[in-house]
Chain A
Amino acid sequence: MRIHPRYTQRGAVVILGGATLLTLVILIFIIVFILEKGLPVLGWNFLTSNPEDMGRSGGIFPTLIGTIILPLIAIIIATPLGVFTSVYLSEYTKETRATKIIRFGTDCLAGIPSIIFGLFGYIFFVITLGMGWSLLAGGLTLAVMILPTIIRTSEEAIRAVPKSYREVSFSLGASSWQTVKKVILPNALPGIVTGVMLSIGRSIGETAAVIFTAGSSLRIPTSLLDSARTMSVHFYILAREGISAENAYGTAAALIIAVLLVNLSAYWLMNRFISKRS
């Protein structure tokens, strides 16, 4: 039996539209739920004062510092490493067995659960290299964790630059590096930035890898070798140990807003960059 295209078309619209709607509803529900519980607690005072009594009362100031510093260290280390690697893989090597193995390896790395990275960071950075629970150990662990994502998204962005741009650049007497610098990277930048932003979001929200490597000290860190607690870890501890559901939601709301701010500023930056070029 053949169904008339008019009906299959209608069915498709319902299913596709329904899926989109459901996704949106779930997203909005989560955000509204957290904000509703968290916003009453969240205020300037909450953000800028020190926690008291293990976080039962007081604010989250030290964890705010931790949440800024840790992803910052990770991004500063992982972005150049990741972007250079992806440029090398896509522009300086021809497709061979070796590059395929490297690409497969990064895919595997990207899929490893973050707690494994935490364990690795604990054994390698914290114990073997003697960094102790510290911002440095945590930042390096996060860097290792997000590196595969940055490599893969950058590589995709670089591959999306039309081959004809490369041909033109080479035909005008450019070396590989000049082509990368003047044509490839500027055109791949929006894609690269997206990958970096995703990674920042992931590191802000990361708990398992951080708790093993940066520890959970509630003191304000004064050096890279000090232990620190991020908002995600703080939230985890407050909720897991039943210290304060109120403050846990306040922290969660702060987290969500932080991630939102990162994404919004990324879009703003990117749009500015694109409109400047065209």
Chain B
Amino acid sequence: MGLQYEQIKLKQIKKVHIYDNDYPEMLTYISNPPKVLYYTGDITLSSMPCIAIVGARKATSYGKWAAYGFAKKLSEYGIIVVSGMAYGIDTHAHKGSVESTGKTIAVLGCGIDICYPASNKDLREKIIKDGGLVLSEYEPGEPPLPFRFPMRNRIISGLSLGTIIVEAGINSGSLITAECAAEQGRNIYALPGNINSMYSLGTNKLIKDGATPLITFDDIIDELGIRRQPALSRQEIEIGKDEKSIYEYILRSGETTTDFICRSTCKLPSEVNAIVTILEMKGLVHTSMGKIFVAN
């Protein structure tokens, strides 16, 4: 115990009890709130309006792009993004928030002194440095065990006004978060996906069962009843004629490959490859695993 106390002091881990003033109010309304929360960072964030963004660890580029986009949009309106700092969607949701100078809350399924997954160490440090919050109901030193993650999900949804499920397979743990949100009487939003995508079966089913589909990034803002700000004056990006024709084709198809672009624009692969790189550098498209997507 002595050692643990030292660690708590050393790592600036603080503790908030359910009767304390700082305890997030939203959590007190759920059926089984944690008695104690351990945290590092700014606890007042947890009493501000929050939205959770969750999804599968193994996500497609589409899912990661969407998680990033929603987090960024929410941050622009000063809404706190809550997620679980796991691989995939969670990581990109935190990144979207951190990289657009927003504040974010990471709820862990293990002791707060443990960084799980270890590869997110940089992200965790960045979250704390930028005034975010990392919290957990588990005592420092508790290892990440499988049963803790579903428990953790109730805190993610409990802190938030609503939960966005970005991508989930049919057996994904994110569906547990959606279930928690439903039990807690919070809103559930889901990102629709192609019906042939394994990674969107869960979210599409949620929509069928009554979750609110989000079809643009602004939808979430409208849903929260916030007045939309005029779009930030986007820097006009100059693009040439060839670039434009390729960009338009990518816009039309959403997700494509070089071979298809060659065929539809009547250009050689060498030209197309060069132009795709330039578009990517201008931030208009995004490539991954041989496929080309529209970036936003």
Is B a genuine binding partner of A?
no
